[in-house]
Amino acid sequence: MQLSIDLTGQHVLVTGAATAARQAIKRYESAGAVVFHLPVPAYLGPGAGLPARPFLVAAVDDGQPGWEPVLSRYRAAGVPVASEPAAGAAGHVTLVGGGPGSTDLLTLAALKALRDADVVFYDRLAPYQELPVLTTARLVDVGKKPGHHKVSQTDIQQLMVDAALAGNNVVRFKGGDPYVFGRGGEEVAACVAAGVKVQVISGVTSAISVPAAAGIPVTHREVSHMFTVVSGHAPLTADEHRHLTGLGGTIVVLMGIGTLHQLAAGLRQAGMRADMPMAVVERGYRPGQRTTFANLGTITSAAAGCSNPAVLVIGEVVRVAAANNGHAQATAEFDLLAASLLGS
């Protein structure tokens, strides 16, 4: 069970060794509480410098024996005792997949890593807007835009390594999954080369989730039993167009608006039929999400007003989704009509 409570100005006693309790102390201070810290089970009588009856006791699981009598005394006095995890060992890097852009799709492991972070280097495609609520860490924007890299990849890797070597718990917060066109392999290699402990927390990749947000399944029984994920940052070669056309199944292109014209022309030249269904899903799971349905022969003109971040989907699964979405649209229009009639 999770509860939200206003701790502004309230006395909170955090128990646990300093290293283990450091993140809990930061979290409660960030929540506006007046925090007192008890690092070892000790005398709690007059002169101890602790509140006689705090609003809340936050008990950090630091592995020390002797805490139970202390906590039992507060419970007997009617003081709530909340269990808090110990902070992780200092000086490591965690690559966290932030999913397609909604905090609702963050994993529990991602939330735990953010809670335990001292510094977060984040990208613009991750759900960074909610970071001040999810972590007390120092936040550093290293996001890239097409044609404009505020911080180079090499510099990002050096920032991560330097921060970890200085004793910080570092989170590299990325959109989607770190290992799906996220350069996670390069960042792991940089940490390993510097002797920094590193782990990767997978994220919900936009290759699957953004089509799903538009009602498009990347596989569908008797329609498509495979899908291929392609980066749209650079035009594909003629051989790659032929390969994709010959594979069949569903083609998913990430960030492909800038190369859409070359992609459509290349697939047509490779033999893909002009009436192959296509969709462009913009800003999946974000405000302003929009889906444009067309086919290979008309997509260039149909998507003239589209922009990244976007996911392109090519294949018969789009026809299935378009039919479902058409039914949903008709239902929505009926509901709006009914509401207007009832309102009158």
Q: Are 318 and 294 contacting, i.e. CB atoms less than 8 angstroms apart?
A: no
Fold agreement (92-203, 207-328): no
Please, what is the average pLDDT of the chain? 90
Residue 44 above 70 pLDDT? Answer: yes
Residue 200 above 90 pLDDT? Answer: yes
Every domain of the chain and the residues it spans: 11-85, 92-203, 207-328
The model's pTM is: 0.83
pLDDT top residue among 153 and 42: 153
What phi and psi values does residue 161 have, to the nearest 5 degrees?
Answer: -65, -45
Is residue 174 part of the annotated active site? The answer reads no
Is residue 276 part of the annotated active site? The answer reads no
Give the tens place of pLDDT for each residue, 56-83: 999 999 999 999 999 999 999 999 999 9
Q: What is the pLDDT of residue 215?
A: 93
Q: Which CATH number fits domain 207-328: 3.40.50.720, 3.40.50.1820, 3.40.50.1110, 3.30.950.10?
A: 3.30.950.10
Q: What is the pLDDT of residue 146?
A: 58
Q: What is the pLDDT of residue 325?
A: 64
Give the tens place of pLDDT for each residue, 142-192: 986 655 567 999 999 999 999 999 999 999 999 999 999 999 999 999 999
Residue 332 above 70 pLDDT? Answer: no
- Residues with Cβ within 8 Å of 218's Cβ and at least 6 positions away in sequence, in order, are 207, 208, 211, 212, 224, 227, 250, 252, 313, 317
Residue 334 above 60 pLDDT? Answer: no
Rounded to whole angstroms, the Cα distance separating 92 from 89 reads 8
Rounded to whole angstroms, the Cα distance separating 119 from 170 reads 5
Tell me which of 62, 123, 160, 278 is the catalytic residue.
123
Is residue 145 part of the annotated active site? The answer reads no
Give the architecture-level CATH label for domain 92-203: 3-Layer(aba) Sandwich (3.40)
Q: How many CB atoms lie within 10 A of CB 49?
A: 8
Question: For the chain, what's the residue count?
Answer: 344
Rounded to whole angstroms, the Cα distance separating 231 from 36 reads 51
Tell me which of 26, 177, 255, 272 is the catalytic residue.
255
- Residues with Cβ within 8 Å of 209's Cβ and at least 6 positions away in sequence, in order, are 99, 100, 105, 284, 285
Partner residues linked to 81 by β-bridges: 57
Q: Are 181 and 254 contacting, i.e. CB atoms less than 8 angstroms apart?
A: yes
Run of H or E residues at 144: strand 144-145
Residue 41 above 50 pLDDT? Answer: yes
Rounded to whole angstroms, the Cα distance separating 272 from 270 reads 6
Closest CA to 293 of 265, 259, 329, 258: 329
Sort strands 310-314 and 250-254 into parallel, antiparallel or unpaired.
antiparallel
Q: Tokens 């919900």 appear where?
A: 204
pLDDT top residue among 51 and 36: 36
The beta-carbon contacts of 273-277 under 8 Å, at least 24 apart in sequence, are: 276/314, 276/315, 276/316, 277/314, 277/315, 277/316, 277/317, 277/318, 277/319, 277/322
